[in-house]
Amino acid sequence: MTTLLERRPSRVPDGYSLRYTLTDGREPGFGWAREQTVLVYTRGWSPSDFTFPLMVCLGRADGPDLVGTRADRAQALDIGVPGVEAVYHDGILTPRLDSARDFAGTEWQQGEVHSITARSAAGAFAVRGPRNLPRDELVATLLSLSPAE
């Protein structure tokens, strides 16, 4: 039996392929928590494919939130699995720069990416993808991780 951090989606949207896997907090999935795995999928190899990839994150149920999300922007989402609580974020929190190009806080940006995060007794599961990837594709990828088990 595979552990939580070894799980892989059995379904990803058509045309997407796994490009790399990061473990031990080397990618900002659920913060930089050590106990997580981040899987990055793209359609191709161009820089634009890697700008907004399909990202799948696996971590502990009590771990931090998905980087770039905000609780006040979360929309409860019923994914049809008992014991699994999910939220949808239509956008991402990004750094804001002032006129001198210095850090000036953060802002919520919509239109480029969206994500779903689900938590259960088994762990935390998140899928973030480009906004042109329909939400039902994110849900299908998330469900293929068996978040309740």
Q: List pLDDT tens digits, range 47-67.
A: 988 889 999 999 999 989 999
148 within some domain? no
Helix, coil or strand: residue 97: strand
Task: Return the percentage of the chain with pLDDT > 70, whole number.
Answer: 99
The pLDDT assigned to 149 comes to 86
86 within some domain? yes
Q: Report the distance separating Cα 39 and Cα 42, nearest Å.
A: 10
The answer to whether the beta carbons of residues 129 and 54 sit under 8 Å apart is yes
Give the range of the structural domain holding residue 56, as residue numbers without chain letter. Answer: 4-143
Domains in the chain: how many in total?
Answer: 1
CA dihedral in degrees (40, 129, 72, 8; nearest 10)? -50
149 within some domain? no
17 within some domain? yes
Q: Report the distance separating Cα 72 and Cα 131, nearest Å.
A: 20
Lookup: tokens for 77: 């989402």
> pLDDT grade, residue 1 (50/70/90)?
low
124 within some domain? yes
pLDDT one-digit tens code per residue, 122-132: 999 999 999 99
The pLDDT assigned to 85 comes to 96
- What's the whole-model pTM score? 0.91
